[in-house]
Amino acid sequence: MALSRFISLEGGEAVGKSTQITRLAERLTKLGHKTIVTREPGGTPLGESIRHLLKHAPEGRGMTPEAELLLFLASRAELVRKVIMPALDQGTWVLSDRFLDSTTVYQGAGRQLPVEMVQLVNAFAVGGYLPGLTLVLDLEPKEARRRQLKRTKPAGEGNFDRMEAEPTDFFDRVRQGYLDLAKTQPQRVKIVPAAGSIEKTADAVWKEVAGVFSL
Ligand code: TMP
C-alpha cells in the first residue's frame, strides 16, 4: 500500500513547528503537489473553539486531566472526518501541526494518564487515519523556554497559556515521551534536531520528507 500523504509535525513548546510546516508546504506546492496545512487542537470551527477552551478560556482553568484528554480527542475526531479524510481521498497532501502523538506524549507521558486508555481513545478518534511520516522537532526544554519567553506578548511567564504554564518537569517528560516514540516506531516517527537556524532545520525536515516519499 502507498504511504499516506499525511505528515504530522510534533514537538514540545516553541520548537518552531508552525514555521517549519509553512516551509514544508511551500516546498511541496512548488513541486506541484496540492497541499493543505492544519493544526491541532483546531483546524475546524468546533476544533478552534475547543482550542480556545484548552488554552485560554477561564472556564478551562483547573480542568481535570480526563476532561482535557477528551477535549483534545473531540477536536481530533472532527478534524479527521471533516478535513483530513476528504483531503487525502482527493490526493491532497495533509500537513498537520500536531496529531495523535501529542496526546500520547502530553496526556500519557506528561499528565501520566494510563497509557492503554490514552491509546484506546486516541485510536477511536483517528478512525485508522495515521500519518505516513511524523517529524518530531527536538529541542532542550530549557532552550524552548527561552524561545517561548521571547515570543510571549506581553512578555513574562505570567502570560503563558494553560499548557505553556506547566512546570519544567512536565516538559522533560514530554521530550522523553517523543524520544521514546521514535524508538518504538522508528519507521514512522523521526527526530529532527531543532536547535539550529530555521534554514538548517527546514533542510533537515525536507531531507526526511524527500527520502521517505521519494520526492
Ligand atoms: P500549540 O498549537 O501552540 O502547540 O498548542 C497546543 C498545546 O496543546 C500544546 O501545549 C500541546 C498541547 N496538546 C496536548 O496536550 N495534547 C494534544 O493532543 C494536542 C494536539 C496538543
Q: Which DSSP helix (H) or strand (E) runs through 17?
A: helix 17-30
What is the Cα–Cα distance from 151 to 209, expressed in whole angstroms? Answer: 28
> What's the whole-number mean pLDDT along residues 97-116?
98
pLDDT at 156 over 90: no
pLDDT at 94 exceeding the cut of 90: yes
Q: Read off the pLDDT of each residue in 49-77 and give the average, rounded to a whole number.
A: 97
pLDDT at 3 over 90: no
Ligand 1: centre distance to CA 1 (Å) = 31
Is the CB of 178 inside a 6 Å radius of any atom of ligand 1? no
Using 50, 70 and 90 to split pLDDT, how confident is the model at 72? very high
Q: State the cell numbers at 4.
A: 499516506
User: From CA 194, how far away is CA 136, in angstroms rounded?
Assistant: 9
At residue 152, the pLDDT reads 80
- Over 90: is that where the pLDDT of 86 sits? yes
Looking at residue 179, what is its pLDDT?
A: 98
**For residue 178, is pLDDT > 90?**
yes
Q: Percentage of the chain surpassing pLDDT 90?
A: 90
Q: pLDDT value at position 159?
A: 82
Residue 10's CB is within 10 A of a number of other CB atoms, namely 30
Name which residue sits closest to atom 15 of ligand 1, judged by CA: 106
Instruction: Place 191 in a pLDDT band, splitting at 50, 70 and 90.
Output: very high
CB-based contact 94:87 (threshold 8 Å): yes
Mutate to test the pocket of ligand 1, among 73, 96, 100, 106 (most ligand atoms within 8 A of CB): 106
Task: Assess whether the C-beta atom of 106 lies below 6 angstroms from ligand 1.
Answer: yes
Q: Which atom of ligand 1 lies nearest, measured to the CA of 166?
A: 10
- Closest ligand 1 atom to Cα of 111: 15
pLDDT exceeds 80 at position 158: no
> What mean pLDDT, rounded, does the chain reach?
96
Task: Tell me the CA–centroid distance for residue 65 and ligand 1, in Å.
Answer: 13
| DSSP, res 3 | P
Domain 2-213: which CATH number of 1.20.1250.20, 3.90.650.10, 3.40.50.1820, 3.40.50.300: 3.40.50.300
Helix (H, G, I), strand (E, B) or coil at 39: strand
41 in contact with ligand 1, CB cutoff 6 A: yes
Give every strand in the sheet of 189-193, ordered side by side: 35-39, 93-97, 6-11, 133-138, 189-193
Q: Where are the alpha helices (DSSP H) in 135-197?
A: 141-151, 168-184
| Cα 46 to the center of its chain, rounded Å | 18
Residue 117 has pLDDT above 90, yes or no: yes
With beta carbons less than 8 A apart as the criterion, state whether 9 and 39 touch.
no
pLDDT of residue 1: 64
Report domain extents, the chain: 2-213
